[in-house]
Amino acid sequence: MKEEFFIKNIVSKHIGDDAAFVEGFVIASDEFFEDIHFKRDWFSLKEIAIKASLVNLSDIVVKNAKAKYALLSIGFPKSLSLREIKELANGFNEAAKLYSYEIIGGDTIKNDKIAITMTFIGETKRVISRKAKLNELVAFTGNLGSVKKDLNRLLRGAKISKNSKFKRPILRDKFFYKASRYITSALDISDGLFKELERVSKVSNVGFEFFQNFDKRVGCSGEEYEILFTFPKKYLLTIKNIAKLTRTPITIFAKTKRGKFKSICKENHF
């Protein structure tokens, strides 16, 4: 995979995750480009700005950090009116207010299409990595599969609900911050459940014993931005109680074991 090949050729002790942990700070950067990540007729401009913010915030949350600052760089097509630019700005401001961070700078350029790059800086007292341990329970928040279904509908020219997670991801921050002290490893499901399990497998040298099976519709559904996490069995009741308290659906579907896991999903980068 070209993405992994490129990353391996960058000299850095911090690279290898969607966010870097450096001296108490978690730093994450992500891109959101027209006709690559979205089409203009799928989203309002405000929805574009909010989703661009949330998909990046997701990487901060699963590190057990809280966003403090963000840098925003954006390319504007010449065709965008001042009213439309204001609508984009309103979306970025709404996300910043909702998650209590400040946009402190960035860059703007003229571009053929809307191109958004955001870098978030968060703080944490206990960072959580992707590295799981043997004999831990494996779970995810929410329900998986709806995003792939909605994307396929859009590609066919159909409409989707304004409440679709494809339009506005649901960040499970309230659950995660309360449960974080009991969680060993975590990452967001951006490339599909099976791909994220492969990442955990590689970094942790573990496989998985499944309690239930998932078809490709569920296992390969990307851009879900639910949280995949592992935790010791002794905290099962505690995790369930926190999920109930925060009204967060969770599915406990496997435990870690010795072995390896390989995703069966097609790559969606490059």
Is residue 12 pLDDT above 70, yes or no? no
Q: What would the mean pLDDT of 240-255 be, rounded to a whole number?
A: 98
Model pTM score: 0.90
Question: What is the per-residue pLDDT for 171?
Answer: 95
Contacts (Cβ under 8 Å, ≥6 apart) of 242: 175, 178, 179, 248
Residues 171, 51: contact at Cβ < 8 Å? no
Q: Identify the pLDDT of residue 269.
A: 45
> Quick check: 185 and 132 in contact, CB under 8 A?
yes
pLDDT at 86 over 60: yes
Distance of CA 73 to the CA centre of its chain: 19
Q: Which of 22-26, 61-65, 190-194 has the lowest mean pLDDT?
A: 22-26
| 87 CB-near residues (< 8 Å, 6+ apart) | 44, 45, 46, 49
In this model, does residue 9 exceed pLDDT 90?
no
Work out the average pLDDT over 67-85: 94
pLDDT, tens only, 168-211: 999 999 999 999 999 999 999 999 999 999 999 999 999 999 99
Is 80 exceeded by the pLDDT of residue 136? yes
The one-character DSSP state at 23 is: T
Residue 13, pLDDT > 60, answer no
The answer to whether residue 116 scores a pLDDT higher than 70 is: yes
Backbone angles phi, psi at 246, to 5 degrees: -95, 5
At 24, the pLDDT band (50, 70, 90 cuts) reads confident
Q: Which residue has the tokens 């998932």?
A: 214
Q: How high is the pLDDT of residue 36?
A: 85
Length of the chain: 270
Q: Is 175 exposed, middle or buried (0-12, 13-18, 19+ CB in 10 A)?
A: buried
